[in-house]
Amino acid sequence: MNLGEIFLDSLIDCAKMLPLIFLTYIIIEIIERKADFAKHGKFLEGKFAPLLGSLAGVFPQCGVSVMSAKLLEKGLIGAGTLLSVFIATSDEAFSILIASDKRIDILPLMGIKILLAVVIGYAVNALVKKRIVYDKGDTFGHEEVCAHCHDHVHAEGKYAWISKYVLIPLLHAFQTFLYVFAVTFVFGIFFGEEGLIGEEKFTEFLSASKYFGPFVSALVGLIPNCASSAVITSAYISGGISFGSMFSGLVSNAGVGLAVLFKNTSKLKRNLLILSSLYLIGSLSGLIINLIV
């Protein structure tokens, strides 16, 4: 096994993705700052809340999941609406997939996630009825809902646009590149043509993992960090996990929203119920996809 060759091949493959990942983050940053839904959570009220929440959640960022967690804490939205946002959220998956040769898989991924999010959202809101009163004074600025992404880059002064639309997207792109490269390199060491395990045994592993893979992937997805969605998606691109297993991990992954939710220790029982629901929904839906596809 030639580690240098595996390293170089992985580096070149991932470097090809970097420009497109960077461009994607620039577009996402512009939309996030200009879109009205990044300024307030009013769209999450009313009978269409789960539908609009799932559509907003599927947008490639984690700001909406953070915002929805804060709205739930204030009693302004129902648990079903929160779940619709969490299920639809995919964090770094969009930017990684769009820059890969499996970009076409974005369509079934997002489509099924939206459908699942809407069904679960309405079902839970119907079961857990709660009178929601929206406070028109509540606003959620871009820097507030995305503080976890921007606290390391200051955007002030005459050249603030450079920080907002160049440095922040570049930092995101580089972080994502490192995640993808790390996963690609590790898979190359173990499962490449000259890897420690080899392609034949890896094929056998994939065949068996259709049953337990979704449960493992969904567990990884519960980690409240952008890295978990990046690792799951990178593993799929590298051929390490199936589409169903990737789907499981991205359904259970709610970005930093879960971390915000668990800051309220007085609602631990409720938070654990939401967490376990996400895990079960992600695991079972991914298993069904693996059995069908």
Q: Tokens for 128, please give them.
A: 């857990």
Distance CA 208, CA 125 (A): 37
Distance CA 165, CA 293 (A): 40
Q: What is the pTM of this model?
A: 0.83
* CB contact at 8 A, 62 and 256: yes
Residue 211 binned pLDDT confidence (cut-offs 50, 70, 90): confident
Q: What angle do CA 117, 222, 166 make, to 5 degrees?
A: 85
Q: Averaged over 42-46, what is the pLDDT?
A: 70
Q: What percentage of residues in the chain have a pLDDT greater than 70?
A: 78
Distance CA 155, CA 184 (A): 33
- Look at 43 and 245; give whichever has higher pLDDT: 245
What is the per-residue pLDDT across 155-169, written as a single tens digit (0 to 9) for each? 555 667 677 778 888
Q: How do the residues of the chain divide into helix, strand and coil, expressed in percent and rounded to 5?
A: 75, 0, 25
The domain spans of the chain are 3-208
- Look at 165 and 98; give whichever has higher pLDDT: 98
